[in-house]
Amino acid sequence: MQFSVMNKLKKRALKVIAEHLSVEEAAGIKEGFQLMDTTNRGKINIDELRVGLQKLGHQVPETDLQIMMEAGDVDKDGYLDYGEFVAISVHLRKMGNDEHLRKAFQFFDQNQNGYIEMEELRSALHDEVDANSEEVISAIMHDVDTDKDGRISYEEFAAMMKAGTDWRKASRQYSRERFTSLSLKLMKDGSLSLNNEDNNR
């Protein structure tokens, strides 16, 4: 229960971040996704990810693919949907930076008082949670509000976005350093660069 609850807020926040990417940033990610989503069903599995990364010019070791897949597949359905793919791309490009997190936080903090309150959480997640939403909202608040003042500060929000099941514990077998070095490697060789400098469409 815990992780899926937490992930509802995280997923919504990643959606917000995806919406805030600049046009060029978003276009690069979208092209990459469309390239991989050969069946046009709006989601890709590990095989499509593998083939897609090869098309973009890298042989990613199987173990690294597993890490990326595990880290990105927030709802654990065996596929990366566009939102999850954006999240991985954002992470790999080290754009999970504070500027993007800040924008996402502001989306939730509707009265701009520097905290996400119960009511704001409720309204932001109304389309993500079902009938037992009160329980879900309370559980999210309980998990994320670490100083227990009944509201989520930016620091608590950022800690949730940067921690948890998703990236750092992507796989118990591999250290976070390995995941980071993979990220840097992908960034460095440019196949996951946002700018598409060569623009070879």
- Asked if residue 10 belongs to a domain, the reply is no
The series of mean pLDDT values per 10 residues for the chain, 201 residues long, is: 60 77 79 92 94 80 80 86 82 61 89 96 80 80 92 90 49 46 57 44 41
| 77, 126: one domain | no
| 64, 103: one domain | no
Query: Whole-prediction pTM value?
Result: 0.53
| CATH number of the domain bearing residue 88 | 1.10.238.10
Range of the domain at 176: 22-94+172-188
- Asked if residue 47 belongs to a domain, the reply is yes
| 118, 86: one domain | no
Instruction: Count the domains in the chain.
Output: 2
Q: How far is CA 98 from CA 58, 70, 95, 158, in A?
A: 29, 24, 8, 8
